[in-house]
Amino acid sequence: MADQRAGRAHWASRFGFVLAAAGSAIGLGNIWKFPYITGQNGGGAFVLVYLGCIVVVGLPIMMAEFLIGRHGQRDAVGSFVALEGKGSPWCLVGWGGVAASFIVLSFYAVVAGWSFDYVVKSAMGTFPGRSAGEINALFGGLVSSPLQVVFWQGFFVAATVSIVLGGIRGGIERWSKVLMPVLFMLLVLLFVRGMLSPGAGAALDFMFRPDFGRLTPQALLDALGHAFFTLSLGAGTMITYGSYLHPKSDLFSLSVRITVLDTLVALLSGLAIFSVVFAAGLEPAAGPGLVFQTIPIVFASLPFGSLLAFVFFVLLAFAALSSSISMLEVSVAYLIDEKGWGRKRSTFLIGSLAFLVGLPSALSFNVWAQVTPLFGKTFFDLMDVLVSSYMFPLGGLFVALYAGWFWKGEGEKEELLGGRHRAWLFPLWHFLLRYVAPSAVLLILLNQIGVF
């Protein structure tokens, strides 16, 4: 392992790492998915469960993933090999992560592609002067065209590939440092605009006044699954990113920072979007089109609206990119570390495969909209449910069980604390990992399949 460590690329700075990992966490999950599933699940109570899952399940598992990756100093599979030896069943957890991050990349590229199309639409001044209804129809026009959707999906995969080709420091870290701060500032602007609009009160009410009567088993599962999705957990990503960390970094404060940033972005986006939804009399449960149908409406009525809409969609596209590069990096790191392949060959291969596997998802909004192979869901929805509701939570569950109960490595405690004296931290973390996180995941999964 010593020579592995010596020859391996590492993040240039701690700040760069936080931004790259936050870049992975912050993406379509926060700005596109969180508002739309909050809308579908009735608001407040769902948000509360989601926040609970972030703190007691997500954060401790994120720390465990960083720890495993940093200790193993290899990709998601190789880190378990380094810790437990080849052939250990725990390597399956790494494999599950590689598979999940690959599948999520395949359909994520479809939605990310829409944001590129909206960059072009806003650059051409398509939104100002249009009614809410017309803006709604624009979205329908885009997704019903297989050619446009597949074109943008391919474009997005190609962009992801080109960044991952640059490697850790030159590609991922350098881009994240610029993109994330700008995204954050723009979101604050949108949030302030939303709070000054007539829909602000209704938005706050919708998101923060819990109505527990609306908490279905499905809502619980969605909240849990989304906590994993939004923090990029159970996907091998944080193990892989952790493997590029220096041995002395303080994992606790890094994880807290990333989690706080991620949650803040989700809440800001939710409030910004729901203020528009309520001010314009739109439907909060509109589904996957929500952000594309509301944000252009806010901007259409603002001075410099076209410019702002343009900047917003550029940033949405970039937020998606800083996440998709982390998905691609999981499989690429596997091929580099375990198979000895070059970065170029690995990146091209996985990128092309992800594009092909993503095609049925792209067609789910148009020519295959009526094709529902299982449970009455389109291919896109099936892929989403498969990874978000099952693969990520199960991956996270096994990471928790491993780090909480089975890791025999000495120095787990010292590594976590990074030489700092926080007497309360290790026992609390261990307790959450051993009991709380696994029971939450199990209860919610069993509840969903109707055991209770």
Question: Which spans of this chain sit near ligand PFF (rule: CB under 6 A)?
Answer: 24-25, 27-30, 101, 104, 229-230, 232, 235, 237, 323, 326-327
Query: Token pair of 194, please?
Result: 């939303």
In angstroms, give the least distance from the CB of 201 to ligand PFF: 28
Q: Which is nearer to ligand PFF, 114 or 229 (CB)?
A: 229
Contact predicate 69/77, CB 8 Å: no
Query: Token pair of 255, please?
Result: 């994880």
In angstroms, give the least distance from the CB of 288 to ligand PFF: 13
Closest CA to 319 of 190, 179, 189: 179
The CA distance from 401 to 381, in Å, is 29
Q: Which is nearer to ligand PFF, 127 or 152 (CB)?
A: 152
With H, G, I as helix, E, B as strand and everything else as coil, classify residue 377: strand
Q: Which is nearer to ligand PFF, 118 or 127 (CB)?
A: 118
Q: Which is nearer to ligand PFF, 311 or 327 (CB)?
A: 327
The CA distance from 446 to 438, in Å, is 12
Q: Which residues contact 395 (CB under 8 A, 6 or more apart)?
A: 93, 96, 97, 100, 228, 233, 234, 235, 236
Q: Which is nearer to ligand PFF, 28 or 363 (CB)?
A: 28
Q: Is 196 exposed, middle or buried (0-12, 13-18, 19+ CB in 10 A)?
A: exposed
Query: Token pair of 135, please?
Result: 């803006």
In angstroms, give the least distance from the CB of 30 to ligand PFF: 5
In angstroms, give the least distance from the CB of 384 to ligand PFF: 11
Q: Which is nearer to ligand PFF, 101 or 126 (CB)?
A: 101
Q: Which is nearer to ligand PFF, 235 or 298 (CB)?
A: 235
In angstroms, give the least distance from the CB of 231 to ligand PFF: 6
The CA distance from 305 to 296, in Å, is 8
Query: Token pair of 6, please?
Result: 């010596």
The CA distance from 210 to 52, in Å, is 13
In angstroms, give the least distance from the CB of 125 to ligand PFF: 28
Query: Token pair of 115, please?
Result: 């944001």
Q: Which is nearer to ligand PFF, 77 or 327 (CB)?
A: 327
In angstroms, give the least distance from the CB of 6 to ligand PFF: 27
Q: Angle between the 392-401 and 437-448 helix axes, to the nearest 10 degrees?
A: 150
- Number of residue whose CB is nearest ligand PFF: 29
Q: Which is nearer to ligand PFF, 111 or 138 (CB)?
A: 111
In angstroms, give the least distance from the CB of 351 to ligand PFF: 15
Angle in degrees, CA 215, 221, 224, rounded to 5: 105
In angstroms, give the least distance from the CB of 411 to ligand PFF: 27
In angstroms, give the least distance from the CB of 27 to ligand PFF: 3
Q: Which is nearer to ligand PFF, 36 or 278 (CB)?
A: 36
Nearest 10 degrees: CA dihedral of 88, 89, 90, 93? Answer: 140
Residue-wise burial string across 299-321, b where 16 or more C-beta atoms lie within 10 A, e elsewhere: bbeeeebbebbbbbbbbbbbbbb
Q: Which is nearer to ligand PFF, 200 or 295 (CB)?
A: 295
The CA distance from 176 to 260, in Å, is 17
Contact predicate 37/49, CB 8 Å: no
Q: Which is nearer to ligand PFF, 41 or 306 (CB)?
A: 41
Contact predicate 322/26, CB 8 Å: yes
In angstroms, give the least distance from the CB of 260 to ligand PFF: 15
Closest CA to 225 of 38, 50, 404, 364: 50
In angstroms, give the least distance from the CB of 238 to ligand PFF: 8
Contact predicate 321/159, CB 8 Å: yes
Angle in degrees, CA 31, 34, 39, rounded to 5: 115
Q: Scanning the structure block, which residue is given the tokens 């080109």?
A: 162
